[in-house]
Amino acid sequence: MCGISGIIHKSGTPVAHVDIELMNDLAAHRGPDGHGLFFDKSLALGHRRLAILDVSEAGHQPMLYGDRYVLTFNGEIYNYLELREQLSQDGFEFASKTDTEVILAAYDKWGADCVSRFNGIWAFALYDKQKAEIFCSRDRFGVKPFYYADTPEKFVFGSEIKQVLSGGNVPPVANMIAVRDFLVEGYHDHTCETFFQGVHSLPAGHNLVYSVTSNRFEQTCYYSLDARAGLSDLGEHAATSLFFSDLKRAVDYQLRSDVKVGVSLSGGLDSSTLAGLSARIYNTGPLGKMQAIHAKSSENHMDESAYAREVAARADIELSVIEPTAQEFIEAIDEVVYLQEEPFTSPSIFMQYFLFQKAKRIGCKVMLDGQGCDEILLGYERYYSAHLHSMPALQAAREIFSIENNSRLTFRAIVANFAYFSVSRIRIWSLQRKFRFLKKQYTEKFPNIAKATKGSRNIRAMQKMEIESFQLPHLLRYVDRNSMRHSIEARVPFLDHDLVETCYGISNKLKIKDGWTKHILRVAMQGLVAPNILWRKNKFGFEAPDASWISEVSGTMESAVRQSPLLEKMCQRGVDVKKIDPATFWKLYSIAKWETAYSVQS
């Protein structure tokens, strides 16, 4: 993982060294192992290196290839060895052992089609001197970020929003549509718009080609999730075998590293799966035992450390357990708000922040993370609604009792869940009631709710929406910023595109069965993960002790919300913030802190 940046002056004037250097330095945390700049006429590229594969100087970026191409790249191409071998057979020669050089050779041979051959995570900009154009690309599911702004004077891009805003490139003006969507409907990172007017995110699975000659650019979609043909009819045994094979290959690929690798271990099914599979492979290698880190909650009913210890012992993994305190949370608030760059929904991401902080301290430069499993295997309880819609009434009635037996939901909660996610009017009425303290203009229309409700009646449509817009993108943003703040590369094996396509294609009856979510994963991991973890119903994840932490800063939160010019414009007069529910209160606070951190104009 690294940090990339770039500036193109539309007037044709050279880019000042100080301007690109500022952008590059703002990404120093993403790449402390090296930095470089490249200048050519009206264009400048920057790079901050986090050395993972071939840590020698041969991996320095921006990397030049012949006298034609220049690349600044963030990410990993996991199948670079196979591609390198193929390209070598075609006569290409390599001066390094990096995946960066493989990208350049692949582009030289296949052009824009090269990205369809990559298995990995990436965001890069490749300058073709001969064509005077920049080819930019972002990986299939948007694991790696790419932000840009197109102004009358310049085109700028970077790994983080703060780089794009730097030096007055773009004024920090609030995008009120994004703010409203986040606060009222709970959606963020669901479009290519950011919380800042004029700053955009290159969509996942897209390329962008910028012509330095005409100062115009075009975006094209090279990937859209689709089901693999012929998988929906597979029986449980065949589907489970295929799933396990794809998952094992994904983990194997993502253990490729010249530095130490660890795993985030909550004690739940997803992370325990990664721990069990990766330790089998990694512990026989040259870098020693697999390391795992568990973030323990101080609230007893959410303490899952016993499960994490059991998994670590079974897999022969060295486990570190951290227990962040309220004081550490308070001290980290300003930094986390700044590094996340946009508001976030709860304090739970602080646990992730502290976990990656610990990873850096123990020397784990790469961490495997379980993001994506719930999306590809229908792990969220809200999928039950679409699941029940997919079957006849009598069968659905019987399934409700199975769900009650094999999940945390009561019968009443299942019925309420079904109604809430099936009938948009119920959701809209509930949100209008909750946000009646806002001015009417912010609660008149609910376009995202209408779209989500329509999708929630069909599992496949709902799954695709959550992967592409309504769920996964903001989780990946959280992981990227929290990991890269500590110069850690977070890898997500469950988002290997071959594995995702397999899971998307197999029958949904194998994902939710007898009330169990992620059924096929539970079956596949029998013998590798302990039964009491495989068939758990009371899973929390890395949950922060929100209530106790927030109680420590409630006065500060209330003051920040009251003093926010942006929230003052949105709220009715005389709002009593003490009567606002805790989850909404946190979102208001997050907006207020973001507004201050970036001097946001409203």
Residues involved in catalysis: 2
Q: Which amino acid is at 201?
A: S
Neighbours of 223 (CB within 10 A): 16
Which pair of tokens denotes residue 285? 């290698």
Q: How many whole angstroms separate alpha carbon 278 and alpha carbon 282?
A: 6
Cβ atoms 145, 204 nearer than 8 A: no
Q: How many whole angstroms separate alpha carbon 141 and alpha carbon 592?
A: 30
Selection from 218, 206, 203, 86 nearest residue 150 by Cα: 218
Q: How many whole angstroms separate alpha carbon 547 and alpha carbon 554?
A: 10
Which pair of tokens denotes residue 8? 């193109």
- Which helix (H) or strand (E) segment holds residue 290: the answer is none
Q: How many whole angstroms separate alpha carbon 262 and alpha carbon 352?
A: 14
Q: How many whole angstroms separate alpha carbon 348 and alpha carbon 106?
A: 40
Cβ atoms 188, 343 nearer than 8 A: yes
Residue entry with tokens 């602080």: 350
Q: How many whole angstroms separate alpha carbon 535 and alpha carbon 367?
A: 25
- Strands, sheet with 200-201, edge to edge from the N-terminal-most edge strand: 34-40, 43-49, 2-9, 154-158, 147-150, 200-201
- End-to-end alpha carbon distance in the chain: 34
- The residues near 556 (Cβ < 8 Å, ≥ 6 apart) are none
Q: Is the peptide bond before 62 cis (omega within 30 degrees of 0)?
A: yes
Q: How many whole angstroms separate alpha carbon 172 and alpha carbon 166?
A: 10
Strand 366-368 relative to strand 291-295, pairing: unpaired
> Distance of CA 194 to CAs 27, 484, 602, Å?
19, 20, 14
Cβ atoms 256, 53 nearer than 8 A: yes
- The residues near 266 (Cβ < 8 Å, ≥ 6 apart) are 294, 295, 304, 307, 308, 370, 540, 541, 542
542: phi then psi, degrees, rounded to nearest 5: -80, 70
Residue entry with tokens 């709860």: 346
Q: How many whole angstroms separate alpha carbon 522 and alpha carbon 554?
A: 41
Which pair of tokens denotes residue 543? 């949950």
